[in-house]
Amino acid sequence: MDTTPLVISIMIRVRLEAWTARSIYYPTCFLACMLATVCEGVADDSVTNSCQISTDAVAIAKFIEQLDDQRFAVRESATESLFECGKAAIDLLRRTLQGNCSNERTWRVQWILQRIEEKEFAERSHRFLASRDPNDEFDFPGWASFCQVAGYSHASKLLFLQVCQCQPELAGHIEKLSACSQDERDGALRAVNQFACAKAFELHENDFRSFSEDRPIRPGDLVALLWAAGLNPSLAPMEVNEQIIESLQRSFFSEYLIKVGYQQSVRNLLSVWVPKTQEVVADRVLNIAILQELPEGAGLARKLLGSNVDSRTRAAAFQCLAKYGTASDLSLVEMHINDNTIVYEFAGELSPSENGILESNQPPPGVPSLSPPAEEVSYMVVRIGDCALATCLLLCPARDVEMEEFFPRFESSSLFAYSLRGLAGPARTDRRADNIRWWQELRDLALNEN
């Protein structure tokens, strides 16, 4: 009997059963493996995250150790890794600077800290400028106090950010002053003034070095000093006022005084500062008040005319009152109308209207004159009484009377109410007495009409 067909059928059946078993087994195994892989991945992620959180400080410390590695590529990689860590690395980086480390590591740590702080400052500044809520400070110290002085505007925000960038420690002291109680205010104000004086001295010392290296003083420094000076209930420290005046007289800050947006904020700061200055710098402060259109200069001028100050300061006070004063100031100004103190003196033939320069023939104090003036030369002088009379005429103009009838050389000015040189007259003349009598008659006539 031929068994070949039977054997073949048995072999086919066995192979079919084996294939069927594999077709069921292999997909089942595949699915099981996939599930096991997913579960293992989830477990690995949780383990990795917990390990990363717990080893961040270890990783940062390792990166810091690599900052002075012998291999340049390792140092660069560690530097970039620390920068990417951002704020999480700041504490350890600052602690590194307090310890003993190589120059390479110190330099890189300082550079990384600067980059991180600049990035963080830029991000906060962007949110600060985009916000329309005046109460949003975004962790910038002292914004509420600065806003009260400079006003709320986009320009004042930009000025405030320059202060935070240039003088963050001073802004921090002012923030403490704003937050302290009334009992603690005196001590906090002393701390602000002491720090402001130290910064003013530092800026003064850096003036010549800054200009020689073509690095002008930053506007944020001046704005910070103006802010700190304005917080004083009476006079600001002399060192601070001197540095403010010197900075205002430099051309680098002029753009902020003429731009429409910045101009108002800077004027607000200057208006608060002007009354906080001393008499010894009053003539320069009054000139700043006149040039920058600050009516607060009139209050300072009134105070100065009631005290014993030098002739140049009194002349500036009269000019300030002539521009910003009112008719109520007449009684104060008339007190000086008979004062013959000479403010300026120059040779008659050297007309100041021709060369625009006031020339004095008086030697410096303590220096004897080299040659006596010739008797035939006539001199033109400007006296305190002339300034007072011109101010009276502008505060209470006489009807149908021109200024040139009192002062033939009178020159009006767009900035100053009058030019001092335009008030000059011959040293030996009785015209001043006649002008005073004439003014008094006009004044009495105006009073009778009213």
Mean pLDDT by 10 residues, the chain (450 residues): 42 41 40 37 36 61 90 92 88 88 90 91 92 88 92 93 92 92 91 94 74 63 94 93 88 72 90 93 92 91 88 93 92 91 74 48 67 61 92 80 86 84 80 85 75
203 burial via Cβ count (<10 Å: 0-12, 13-18, 19+): buried
pLDDT at position 206: 76
Side by side, the strands of the sheet bearing 379-383 are 342-347, 379-383, 425-426
Helix (H) or strand (E) holding 133: none
**Who's near 124: CB < 8 A, 6+ residues apart?**
138, 139, 140
pLDDT at position 355: 44
Q: How many beta carbons lie within 10 A of that of residue 146, not counting itself? A: 28
pLDDT at position 13: 45
The token pair at 226 is 């103006």
Helix (H) or strand (E) holding 244: helix 238-248
| 305: DSSP letter | H
**φ, ψ dihedrals at 383, nearest 5°:** -110, 165
CA distances to 113, 330, 361 from 448, in Å: 76, 16, 45
Task: List, as one string, the DSSP characters of 247-301.
Answer: HHTSGGGHHHHHSHHHHHHHHHHHHHHGGG--GGGHHHHHHHHHHTT-TTHHHHH
Q: Which is nearest to 148 in space by CA: 174, 167, 128?
A: 174
Residue ranges per structural domain of the chain: 58-130, 134-277, 315-363+374-450
245 contacts 208 by C-beta, under 8 angstroms: no
Distance, C-alpha 157 to centroid of its chain? 11
The token pair at 270 is 């200057």
Residue 280 to residue 290: CA distance in whole angstroms: 18
| Dihedral (CA of 54, 56, 59, 64) sign | negative
Amino acid residing at 450:
N
398 contacts 326 by C-beta, under 8 angstroms: no
Residue 361 to residue 375: CA distance in whole angstroms: 14
Residue 447 to residue 145: CA distance in whole angstroms: 47
User: 114 in helix, strand or coil?
Assistant: helix
Domain 58-130 belongs in CATH node 1.25.10.10 = yes
pLDDT at position 380: 84
Residue 330 to residue 335: CA distance in whole angstroms: 9
| Dihedral (CA of 143, 146, 148, 152) sign | negative
Helix (H) or strand (E) holding 235: none
pLDDT at position 249: 80
Task: Decide the pairing of beta strands 425-426 and 342-347.
Answer: unpaired
